[in-house]
Amino acid sequence: MSLLVVGLSHRSAPVELLEQAALGDRGELLDIVLGQGDHVDEWMIVSTCNRVEIYGEVATFHGAVGEMSEALCAVTGLSIEELGDSLYAHYEERAIAHLFSVAAGLDSIAVGESQILAQLRQALSDGRSHGHLGSGLESVAQQALRVGKRVHAETEIDSVSKGLIERGISLAQHHIGPLSDARAVVIGAGAMSALATHTLSRLGAAEVTIVSRTLASAERLAAVTGAKVTPWENRAEALAEADFIVSCTGAVGHVISVDDARSSRLEGPQVYLDLALPRDVDPEVADLEDVHVFWLDDLREVAEEAGSRSQVRAVEELVTAEVAEFVTTRRAASVGPTVAAIRRYAADVVAAELQRLESRTTLDERQEAQVQLTIHRIVEKLLHTPTVRMKELAGSQDAADYTKLLHTLFDIDPFVSKVSHIPRQVGGER
């Protein structure tokens, strides 16, 4: 089996296409489409504000790309023509590197954001609950989560996301004046919303109010930031009093409509910073008088500048090392069943020949033991060199070809408990 990812993200698709791809329930359709195919054995879908991707353990490359592309069309409601050049596919080592980079926050618009780890855990949980996740994909996904945790524990990647928020605040101050005089509202209580709340409080906003559908999450965030909390149903009043609104929810569809924005403002300029994909703020809000809206695309230069920072370089080096180690381990593990199968094959041949010898001759216990020991030593010497060589090649790119050759030469299937074929006679009568 080999790892394959097929998907689209903010790097390959325009915001409008990502918004369309984010719509709809994916679980059942994905199961139906991929469950009918012949090329994808395990799969999970990762759907975030930045991407929609299917990861699979596959038997063939081209067949699996076709099935997974068809599945993406089914779950997004978009045709293959509409997805077009926005689709990408990564295979084996590149797929592993891509997943590890995603988990590390390197592939997010807000570079270094940690919310992706929770989203990957959810994808893993969904894969298990639907019953289409096996040991191969499970091990890759679990390692990606470990890499993500290590990145946040050992590097300063979190500071890059802080820079994104600070850039948005700087843009807002051109219109609303000093932050110390501004009343701010944060819509949502997830990772990015929490980062925005902490940043606004740290930079001295006059007042910060959190509005979230999940009141308990908002109250926990308020307790550590000194912010106020307004229930979701009272958000119109909170918006009416705000100079600066930061929104980053996981909602499908617009959280703030043009009517909300039109009726909420009492006087003076108002700035919206929309960090969500799909977008939380209706694009028509930007057409209102004295209302300014900044999207993630307006902050993209921060993410691009971050690419030259030492924090990002450190994460890239860490991810590269993790990928190399995991690929080597994965290849080495793949030869284990073949080694075991060859040894089972040899043991069964020896047992069959000893049984035939026993039926034709009379040996005492000592003689029988000597014969068994001699045959065992011969088999071990014959298998020693190919076994050692196979383990040496396990970490190379030729390991798969070498393994397939051994399957053919010995006529074995390493994933069955017994060999499928044992010669009736070895050098004997027919």
d(CA 160, CA 147): 18
> Within this chain, do residues 233 and 193 fall inside the same structural domain, yes or no?
yes
> Within this chain, do residues 135 and 60 fall inside the same structural domain, yes or no?
yes
Residues 6+ apart with CB under 8 A from 41: 1, 56, 57, 58, 59, 134, 136
Range of the domain at 73: 2-155
> Within this chain, do residues 376 and 260 fall inside the same structural domain, yes or no?
no
> Within this chain, do residues 186 and 68 fall inside the same structural domain, yes or no?
no
Residue 328 lies in a domain: no
d(CA 271, CA 173): 9
Q: In what order do the strands lie in the sheet with 2-9?
A: 40-48, 51-58, 2-9, 88-91
Residue 428 lies in a domain: no
Query: Mean of the per-residue pLDDT values for the chain?
Result: 82
Residue-level pLDDT at 25? 54
Residue 425 lies in a domain: no
Residue-level pLDDT at 309? 65
d(CA 389, CA 402): 10
pLDDT per residue as tens digits for the range 263-287: 766 678 999 999 887 788 999 999 9
Residue 194 lies in a domain: yes
Pairwise pLDDT comparison (192 vs 302), residue with the higher score = 192
d(CA 367, CA 361): 11
Q: Are the C-beta atoms of residues 354 and 371 closer than 8 Å to each other? A: yes
Residue-level pLDDT at 339? 73
Residue-level pLDDT at 180? 93
Residue-level pLDDT at 190? 81
> Within this chain, do residues 108 and 184 fall inside the same structural domain, yes or no?
no
d(CA 309, CA 149): 20
Residue 325 lies in a domain: no
The residue ranges of DSSP E strands in 281-385, in sequence order, are 291-294
What percent of the chain lies above the pLDDT cut of 70? Answer: 86
Both tokens assigned to 428: 């004997």
- pLDDT at residue 393 tops 90: no
Residue-level pLDDT at 306? 45
- pLDDT at residue 258 tops 70: yes
Q: Are the C-beta atoms of residues 205 and 182 closer than 8 Å to each other? A: yes
d(CA 208, CA 309): 30
Candidate ranges 144-153, 190-199, 378-387; pick with highest mean pLDDT: 144-153
Burial of 352 (0-12, 13-18, 19+ CB in 10 A): middle
Residue-level pLDDT at 417? 40
What mean pLDDT do residues 406-419 have?
Answer: 60
Pairwise pLDDT comparison (394 vs 257), residue with the higher score = 257
> Within this chain, do residues 244 and 344 fall inside the same structural domain, yes or no?
no
Phi, psi of 44 (to 5 degrees): -150, 155
Residue-level pLDDT at 307? 46
Candidate ranges 102-111, 161-170, 415-424; pick with highest mean pLDDT: 102-111
pLDDT per residue as tens digits for the range 402-412: 677 777 777 77
Mutual orientation of helices 310-360 and 365-393 as an angle, nearest 10°? Answer: 160
Neighbours of 268 (CB within 10 A): 10
The β-bridge partners of 229 are 210
The β-bridge partners of 45 are 54
> Which range has the worst mean pLDDT, 42-46, 254-258, 310-314?
310-314
Residue-level pLDDT at 36? 76
> Within this chain, do residues 113 and 246 fall inside the same structural domain, yes or no?
no
- pLDDT at residue 251 tops 80: no
- Catalytic residue list: 49
Residue-level pLDDT at 399? 64
> Which range has the worst mean pLDDT, 39-53, 143-157, 195-209?
39-53
Confidence of residue 418 (pLDDT cuts 50, 70, 90): very low
> Within this chain, do residues 293 and 216 fall inside the same structural domain, yes or no?
yes
pLDDT per residue as tens digits for the range 73-92: 888 888 999 998 899 999 98
Q: Which amino acid is at 21?
A: A
Residue 316 lies in a domain: no
Both tokens assigned to 11: 């790097």
pLDDT per residue as tens digits for the range 356-366: 888 888 888 88
Of 155, 174, 190, the last residue of a domain is 155
- Among residues 263, 270, 266, 274, the alpha carbon closest in space to that of 291 is found at 270
pLDDT per residue as tens digits for the range 188-245: 988 788 889 999 999 999 999 999 988 988 999 999 899 999 999 998 889 988 999 9
Residues 6+ apart with CB under 8 A from 260: 236, 239
Phi, psi of 263 (to 5 degrees): -90, -10
> Within this chain, do residues 140 and 53 fall inside the same structural domain, yes or no?
yes
Domain count, the chain: 3
SS3 of 42, please?
strand
Q: Positive or negative CA dihedral for 283, 286, 291, 294?
A: positive
What percent of the chain lies above the pLDDT cut of 90? Answer: 33
Residue-level pLDDT at 250? 74
Does residue 95 come out as left (phi exceeding 0), alpha (psi in the -120 to 50 range) or beta? alpha
> Within this chain, do residues 20 and 143 fall inside the same structural domain, yes or no?
yes
